[in-house]
Amino acid sequence: MTTSDSRGDTVISAELRSFIGVESNAVTYEIERHAVERFACAIGDPNPLYSDREYAESTSLGGLIAPPTFFRSLLPGGYPKPYPEPFAHILDGGSKYRYNEPVKVGDQITVVRKIIDLFEKHGRMGTMLFKISEIAYTNQTGRLVATQTTTTITYGAGEKDSGVGDH
């Protein structure tokens, strides 16, 4: 969806719109035991499935797993060409997750992001660009273990190369 202000200005150029559906470069991570343990400690989750190998192996999971939000530490690669970000200020508008199966220590997870929608809104902070992205997390056997849908909001004073100022 593309909107414009009362003057007909829009920050969603044809170049920016061309990124909808384009996949980022894939990045593959090996899920390491110590990274999982540090992450679980950092979020204050003492679940033994994340740190006690003997306990985890005795469960139906058969081994150590990563906490569900561990995906936040697995960053996708950049886009094949530079993404033309029109604003300097960035906000995290939230994420939604769909978990299909646990990620185990030793898995290799490939991360790919694609923009699925762009739209703008106008308010007291001026023009705000909303970028909706879907991030896919696939394991070494090709199974999609999770997806994350994120909203990124860019806005305001200090626009970069957009020609649109605060109103």
Is residue 115 within 8 Å of 20, Cβ to Cβ? yes
Per-residue confidence band for 161, with pLDDT thresholds at 50, 70 and 90? very low
By three-state DSSP, how is residue 55 classified?
helix
Question: Is pLDDT above 70 for 31?
Answer: yes
Please report the sign of the dihedral spanned by the C-alpha atoms of residue 90, residue 82, residue 117, residue 73.
negative
Q: Which CATH architecture has domain 14-30+75-155?
A: Roll (3.10)
pLDDT, residue 19, reads: 95
In the numeric block, the tokens 């679940």 are attached to 47
Average pLDDT score over the chain: 89
Look at residue 166 and tell me whether its pLDDT is greater than 70. Answer: no
Query: What pLDDT shows up at residue 20?
Result: 97
